Structure 1
Amino acid sequence: MQYMLLINEDESIYEGEEGAKKMEATLAGHMALAQKWAGKGIAFSGERLKPGSTATTIKWDNGSHALHDGPFAETHEELGGFYIIDVDSLDDALEWAKQIPVPGKGAVEVRPVWPMEG
């Protein structure tokens, strides 16, 4: 079964010289995790996302809509990227999600993919 791992983190920790070092270390952690998945034969895909400040959100209200700059959620963390992994169970997905490098504060949401029919 496929699970999406949505990585939410505070983008501000990557600012400045120290932030650049933290970003480099975090990316190395992601590459190491991808190598683990490949070594275990786990099918996966994923992408980084541009900062939340580049987002545009469409909000609907009873049939009408409005555009808003920025991400939808009003939190201190932004959606920074995602993986889709194909594993046997939610427990497996959770174990892999715990290994995603998230420096500072953040969260990884694990959600089953609902395949399209047809």
Structure 2
Amino acid sequence: MEYLLMPINDSSAFAALSPSQQREGIAAYAAFMEAMGKAGVLRDAKRLRPAETATTVRIRSGKSEVQNGPYAETREQLGGYFLIDVPDLDAALAWAARCPAASHGAVEVRPIWPQQEM
């Protein structure tokens, strides 16, 4: 079954790290991705640009409204995603616990809803 692991971090915390701490953080994510690759569970992963680069679209009263910036006004932002294919939720939660974001932010885990089930 496929699950989406979504690391949620305080984007300002990374910027406050020293260059060597930033390299260590990036290396931790690289090791996490390598472990998932070796286990054969990683299907896709992408890093998102900072939330301030987002554009939000809403339809209100039949008209499109475009807002520069993220919808949510919070320090914690979605940083990217890891699409994994594992037997069950317990396995997905075990991988989420290994994600570096779990130790300094959070990792939201959601099952993928296959198209044929909609």
TM-score relative to the length of structure 1: 0.85
Distance in 1, Cα, partners of 2:85 & 2:98: 16
After TM superposition, the runs of 4+ consecutive aligned structure 1 residues lying more than 4 A away are: none
Letter of the structure 1 residue corresponding to residue 46 of structure 2: E
Q: Classify the secondary structure of the residue corresponding to 2:91.
A: helix
Alpha carbons of structure 1 residues 63 and 104: separation in structure 2 relative to 1, 3 Å? farther
Distance in 1, Cα, partners of 2:103 & 2:92: 22
Alpha carbons of structure 1 residues 27 and 17: separation in structure 2 relative to 1, 3 Å? closer
Structure with greater helix share of residues: 2
Post-superposition shift, 1:49?
Answer: 0.8
Instruction: Check whether the contact 1:44–1:84 (CA below 8 A) recurs between aligned residues.
Output: yes
| 1:29-87, Cα deviation, whole Å (9 max, x unpaired) | 11111221122222321011111111101123354331112112222111111100000
What is the aligned length?
Answer: 116
Alpha carbons of structure 1 residues 113 and 17: separation in structure 2 relative to 1, 3 Å? closer
TM-score relative to the length of structure 2: 0.85
Structure 1: gaps spanning 5 or more residues: none
Alpha carbons of structure 1 residues 13 and 43: separation in structure 2 relative to 1, 3 Å? closer
Distance in 2, Cα, partners of 1:22 & 1:79: 20
Instruction: Check whether the contact 2:8–2:77 (CA below 8 A) recurs between aligned residues.
Output: yes
Instruction: Check whether the contact 1:5–1:83 (CA below 8 A) recurs between aligned residues.
Output: yes
Distance in 1, Cα, partners of 2:38 & 2:60: 46
Letter of the structure 2 residue corresponding to residue 2 of structure 1: E
Letter of the structure 2 residue corresponding to residue 94 of structure 1: L
Distance in 2, Cα, partners of 1:11 & 1:104: 14
Identity of aligned residues (%): 38
Report the counterpart of residue 2 of structure 2 in structure 1.
2
Letter of the structure 2 residue corresponding to residue 68 of structure 1: Q
